[in-house]
Amino acid sequence: MAGQPARRSMQGMDTEECSLCKDSLHRFCRSAVLRTTCCGKALHQTCRDNVLTSSMTDHQKRRCIMCRSVYPMSEEESVAQLRPWVEKGKAWAQNMLGGMYVRGGNLRQARQLWELAARQGHANAQYNLGCMHERGHGVVRSFEKASDYYQAAGAGAAQARCMLHATL
C-alpha cells in the first residue's frame, strides 16, 4: 500500500509484559506504560513508581532494574541512549526520539522518525503523524492523511479513535 500508513501489527502486543511485575502490557491496559531508553524494556508507570518509593538505595533507584544502566539525567543523555536503538530500526525508539525532536522544535526530523516507526505499525507514531497532518504542523494540512493515520493507529492508540471520529 504505497502512500498509506501501515496497519498496526498486533503480533506480540498481547504477550509483551511488564519487566517488573510480569503482567501483560496489553494495549487496553489502564496503567501508563514506560519504555526505558537504555535497554528498551517496557514497564507499567505504577511499577516504576513502586521502585522509587521502595526501600532500595538511591544508587539502585537511579539504575535501570533490567540492564543496570544509569538512567539518563538530561535530554542529551536520553538521546545518546536512544540513538543506537533508532539506528537498529526500533520503532519505539524512533517514536520516542521523534517526540524529543518536537519538543526541541525540529518538526521535520520528528516527522521523518515517526514515518519510519509508522511504517512498522507503531500506533503512537501513526497517531502523532495524524495530529501533524490535521493541524498542519510541519506538513501541509490534510484531513485525508490525518484520517488515514488515525485509522492505521486504530485501537492501538485510544486518542486515534477519538480523532478519527472528529475528522470524518
Which tens digits make up the pLDDT trace of 59-98?
999 999 899 999 999 999 999 999 999 999 999 999 999 9
Q: Are residues 149 and 129 in the same domain?
A: yes
Structural domain includes residue 1: no
Per-residue pLDDT at 2: 39
Number of domains in the chain: 2
Cα 14–Cα 15–Cα 20 angle in degrees, nearest 5: 115
- Nearest residue to 41 (alpha-carbon basis) of 69, 73, 10, 8: 69
Answer for the pair 20, 43: CB distance below 8 angstroms, yes or no: yes
Per-residue pLDDT at 24: 84
Q: Are residues 117 and 144 in the same domain?
A: yes
Find where cell 543496570 sits.
68
d(CA 81, CA 70): 10
Burial class (CB in 10 A: 0-12, 13-18, 19+), 126: buried
Tens of pLDDT, residues 92-123:
999 999 999 999 999 999 999 999 999 999 98
Q: Are residues 91 and 61 in the same domain?
A: no
Tens of pLDDT, residues 11-49:
344 467 889 999 887 654 555 888 899 998 988 889 999
Residue ending a domain, choose from 71, 101, 121:
71
Q: Are residues 78 and 152 in the same domain?
A: yes
Interval 118-141 mean pLDDT: 93
Q: Are residues 134 and 108 in the same domain?
A: yes
Grid cell for residue 143? 484531513
Q: Are residues 95 and 162 in the same domain?
A: yes
Per-residue pLDDT at 4: 44
Grid cell for residue 72? 539518563
Structural domain includes residue 87: yes
Per-residue pLDDT at 33: 81
- Domain containing residue 37: 12-71
User: CATH number for the domain including 35?
Assistant: 3.30.40.10
User: CATH number for the domain including 111?
Assistant: 1.25.40.10
- Nearest residue to 81 (alpha-carbon basis) of 70, 89, 91, 95: 70
Tens of pLDDT, residues 139-162:
999 999 998 998 888 755 555 544
Structural domain includes residue 29: yes
